[in-house]
Structure 1
Amino acid sequence: MSVNGEAVRVGTGTDQTDEPGWEVDPDDDWALAVIATVGRQLRLRREATGMRVCDFAVAVGYGEDLVYKIETGKRIPRPEYLDTADEVLGAGGLIAAMKEDVKKVRYPKKVRDLTQMEGRAVEIGLYEPSSVAGLLQTPGHAQALFDVWQPPYSADDMERMLAARMARQSIFDREPAPSLSFVHEEAALRRQVGDTMVMRQQFERLLEVGRLRNVTLQVMPMLSGPHPGLSGRIELLKFADGTAVGRSDGAFNGRPTSDPRQLRILELRYNTIRAQALPPRESLTLIEQLLGET
């Protein structure tokens, strides 16, 4: 369970099922293999010390049901669980070291794939018509968007999705820095997402990122008239080896494409959108104005 967003350890009875940890996606073969390996290592280490599941559960402060699920590869352990298990079993850091492997699979597969592509890209161009781009969202903004998703996310999925979205933003720490271009609709920026503080923090984040040397941030004014992006989101990623991948909600069934002809179409549309949007300096001025209005 959780209180005010913080994970709280629950009792140690075997009837506890809603405990800290993440469910494994049954369609994610790689995640299943990793978590099965981690669970097996935990079980072998526990058995080598002669501890029964019930005793181990008491020692780590979690329920027996969670211990069984983790050891059988049905539950993704949280980092604090591995830290505590390492200490209880005297593993000397070997169990805690598995946090790096677990970290890679705690996010949904589609998010990992996207993060991997963004991590390799040397150029990213993104037109976002309906909201702030995920790479630029603050935690509060992202949380407000997830809160209204239908059907509703479970608390477990909510936490995973939010953590995954924030993890993608490590792209801003890369060296050498990739070239990033964003175009947002003014109407999307004006939409009330979260409370006043969430709105202010989001505008401040946009201004912070928009002033980075490797980032071009533009706003499409509401009075701009029709443009090629009205059919949906456009994303273009270019890689160091000269290859690229693109996707648009309004083209090629919304599927990612690396076909040169289709990429030229998406690039033409994106460049036309950029030409119609406000220049970067005027865009930042508009965002400053929106910040002042909140």
Structure 2
Amino acid sequence: MNEPTGVENEGAGASGLGEEPQREPGLTTGAEPEPPPEVGSGILRVFGRQLKRFRMRAGLERPEFASMVGYSVSTIAAYEQGRRIPPPRLIDQADEVLDAGGVLLEMKEEVAKAQYPAFFRDAARLEAEAVELHVYANQAVPGLLQTEEYARAVFGMMRPPLDEDAIAQRVAARLARQEVFAKRPAPLMSFVIDESVLRRPIGGRGVLRGQIEQILLAGQRSTVEVQVMPLDSEENAGLAGPFTLLETAEGRRIAYVEVQNVSHVHTERRLVKGLEVKYGILRAQALTPQASLNYVEKLLGER
């Protein structure tokens, strides 16, 4: 696989942790911390009011409408009040069942953006458009490789704690990002993962086993390479923390870095080039892709 030509990473944590960042002077792009969209961003409130208006126009009580679309009454209430992010399937169903004439569908894209913390929305868009994506992780499994159970455990460990609705929404958003694997043509992806990440039982040993299985399956894709950075390696160029590199179809090279609640999207060539060089060194220091898969398979056998 080619050396990284582009850059970006996975918000909701370059590390896969999903912390909320703060601006730091002197870097290309930072993001101020904002209240998470789950608490009711503008588009969610607008969508909720429109959903309720069309339901009432159709002469449907909330329980009746909930039954028609297959959701609980409390969930529909949360959507109408702008407290939860409606999934695309619900929007499609609601527009048809309520004969909304495409009004609800027109808000679908903006509603989808609200599933990500404000600081990661630009990164999520870039990630979805990337033709190459390269990730170094030394704190947690990269978000693009996380299982649902592992992601839920990661978000459940955040402090201050997230409420259950927020955790559910963040998990759903993280899993939705993994649709990038189904793109045609699929982007070229590589992951260098520190061995400590594969041994840290976040969520419990059962959750870790399922996570290791998913990493093994991902590494067997023709467009994906997984490399392990051994704990006993005497050289490691990535001690400064995780990061992601990406390249868009237009040839834009971007880097995404998120550590200790500080998140940045870098576009300045000097900064991006430095991380590209670092990633190349990390790949050289890590086990080869085949040796890494053999190691992951061996680790799975130990569980």
TM over 0.5: yes
Partner of 1:7: none
Q: Which amino acid aligns with 1:75?
A: R
2:264 to 248, 255, 266: 255
Matched residue pairs, number? 259
After superposing on structure 2, the runs of 4+ consecutive aligned residues of structure 1 that deviate more than 2 Å are 22-26, 34-49, 55-67, 73-87, 89-115, 194-197, 247-250
Q: Distance in 2 between matches of 1:179 and 1:125?
A: 8
Q: Which amino acid aligns with 2:61?
A: F
Partner of 2:189: 180
Q: Is 1:128 aligned with 2:133?
A: no
Q: Is 1:283 aligned with 2:292?
A: yes
Partner of 2:253: 244
Query: Is residue 54–residue 100 contact of structure 2 (8 Å, CA) maintained in 1?
Result: no
1:156 to 156, 162, 165: 165
1:196 to 205, 225, 243: 205
Partner of 1:75: 83
- Cα deviation for residue 243 of structure 1 reads 1.0
- Cα deviation for residue 226 of structure 1 reads 3.6
Partner of 2:15: none
Q: Distance in 2 between matches of 1:280 and 1:158?
A: 33
Give the TM-score normalised by the residue count of structure 1.
0.75
Q: Distance in 2 between matches of 1:65 and 1:197?
A: 30
Q: Which amino acid aligns with 1:230?
A: L
Partner of 1:273: 282
1:223-242 → structure 2 map (5 Å cutoff): 223-242=232-251
1:43-62 → structure 2 map (5 Å cutoff): 43-49=52-58, 51=59, 56-60=61-65
Partner of 1:10: none
Query: Which sections of structure 2, spanning at least 5 residues, go unmatched?
Result: 1-35, 67-71
1:217 to 226, 242, 245: 226
Query: Which sections of structure 1, spanning at least 5 residues, go unmatched?
Result: 1-21
Say which structure, 1 or 2, has more relative contact order (CA 8 Å, 6+ apart): 2
Partner of 2:151: 142
Partner of 2:25: none
Q: Which amino acid aligns with 1:91?
A: D
Query: Is residue 220–residue 278 contact of structure 1 (8 Å, CA) maintained in 2?
Result: yes
Query: Is residue 57–residue 64 contact of structure 1 (8 Å, CA) maintained in 2?
Result: no
What secondary structure is seen at the aligned counterpart in 1 of 2:239? helix
Q: Which amino acid aligns with 1:56?
A: E
Q: Distance in 1 between matches of 2:170 and 2:209?
A: 23
Higher normalized helix content (fraction of residues) = 1
- Cα deviation for residue 44 of structure 1 reads 3.8
- Cα deviation for residue 36 of structure 1 reads 4.4
Cα deviation per residue 1:102-157 (whole Å; 9 max; x = unaligned)? 44434433343332111111111110011111100111111122222211111111
Query: Is residue 184–residue 218 contact of structure 1 (8 Å, CA) maintained in 2?
Result: yes
CA RMSD of aligned residues (A): 3.2
